[in-house]
Amino acid sequence: MGRLFGTDGVRGVANTELTPLLAMQLGQAGAYVLTEERSYRPTIMVGCDTRISGDMLANAMMAGICSVGANAVYVGVLPTPAIAYLTRKYKVDAGVVISASHNPVEFNGIKFFNGDGYKLSDELEDQIESLIKNNCKGVPKPTGSRVGKIKYRSDAKEEYINHARKAVPLDLRDMKIVVDCAEGASFYTSIETLRELGADVVAIHNNPDGTNINANCGSTHMEELCARVVYEKAALGLAFDGDADRLLAADENGKIVNGDEIMAIIGNYMKEKGTLKKDTIVATVMSNLGFFLMGKEKKIKIDQTKVGDRYVLEHMREIGANLGGEQSGHIIFLDENTTGDGLLSALHLLQVMVESKKPLSELAKVMEVLPQALYGAKVPNHKKESFMEYTEISDAIQALETKYAGDGRVLIRPSGTEPLVRVMIEGKDQSMIDRDAKALAELIENTVM
């Protein structure tokens, strides 16, 4: 059995890899580890995205929580950042999100937040995992009146909307915005927030049925959004993923504005306003080379971490930064929330547009996106960490690193959430890097069987 926890909780195909039994055990072990020093009956908040397996896994998770004597508060379908915020707001002991983010509907996941709204450290995850591998031996199983109970809340989404509106007060009257909710957790909160702020909202993919989450929509499939922005003559388009912790945008011409560009736009605005702490943005090694060149030109320090918003967050907390994120659109505003927040990202981006009175296409010129090719090689989950052990793969990577030295870069890494090895090459010639990245991905896929 490999490590249960990836870079963003426990992920797998629901009902085969991520089973109700495993969800119950995670509820038991998680509740015990996160609350074992409490002298009172602890409470854990649980929410989920819109995928059909959410009810099954959430109820199994809450059964596990209650079986060790803790209480559960079920808030239903809400974005991941809402759970992080509300965990602190309601002063509960921990929070749990049942979601597989941008993954297809057959996947699901479970991620924990501590009582302060932060994702768990590796050490705490290891403690939870160790208990599960030992069949939760030593975890108390109370009886009678000491068994936990479940409380259901329907007002939580309004609390999150109010928080977002207060964090970034805006007047969006006369602004037309196309919003793609990915048939996911933001289908109510994002649309309602923008409409309450006065925007003319054209909502697409906001009718989740449990099976259509992320299906050719959202931040991983932006073709429809880009075309709709042009058709509607909108100011911009906003694309969330399934659990709404990431945001990508489309400018008024239908051109995608990625997470690096969004951070560059907002980071420069914050620096000008004197609100960018340490004059630093924290990004990952996957950020475009143009983002780092922008930082050098604008005298903004760009600190790099390994891939995963949890590592971005850890470094932000270490150095006292308040802005960081990933090219994929996970952007963290640490003054306002403790995890990537698609809605806050959208509001901050709109704030720059409103105050500068500039279109998004002009604002995006703050950085030049250098040609980049990204491919995913499908490999078995248990082999994705060992791909460099194959000589033909390591030799091919070394050859590419030599080829692009000085004119680009090559980055190969296992995905933290999917059975993939990601291949990224940057260089001056788009057709060349596409060809080389695709060939390397195919080599990895065909070699690691």
**Residue 277 φ/ψ, nearest 5 degrees:** -65, 135
* Interhelix angle 342-356/80-89, nearest 10 degrees: 100
d(CA 421, CA 379): 7
d(CA 298, CA 296): 6
190 is catalytic: no
d(CA 427, CA 174): 41
> What is the C-alpha end-to-end distance of the chain, expressed in Å?
18
- Radius of gyration, CA atoms only, the chain: 22
- Strand ranges, E, within 292-439: 301-305, 323-325, 331-333, 372-378, 409-414, 420-426
Q: Are 272 and 285 in contact (CB under 8 A)?
A: no
> What is the DSSP annotation of 350-362?
HHHHHHHT--HHH
Locus of tokens 């909202």: 201
Q: Which of 101, 190, 287, 345 is catalytic?
A: 101
Handedness of CA 61, 378, 288, 399 (dihedral sign): positive
Q: Strand, coil or helix: what is 153? A: coil
Tokens of 363: 């604002």
Tokens of 207: 């009718």
d(CA 364, CA 265): 7
Q: Strand, coil or helix: what is 93? A: coil
Q: Are 111 and 97 in contact (CB under 8 A)?
A: yes
d(CA 412, CA 443): 13
d(CA 73, CA 95): 9
Neighbours of 137 (CB within 10 A): 8
Q: Are 439 and 447 in contact (CB under 8 A)?
A: no
Alpha helices in 197-285 (DSSP H): 223-232, 259-273
Which residues are tagged catalytic?
101
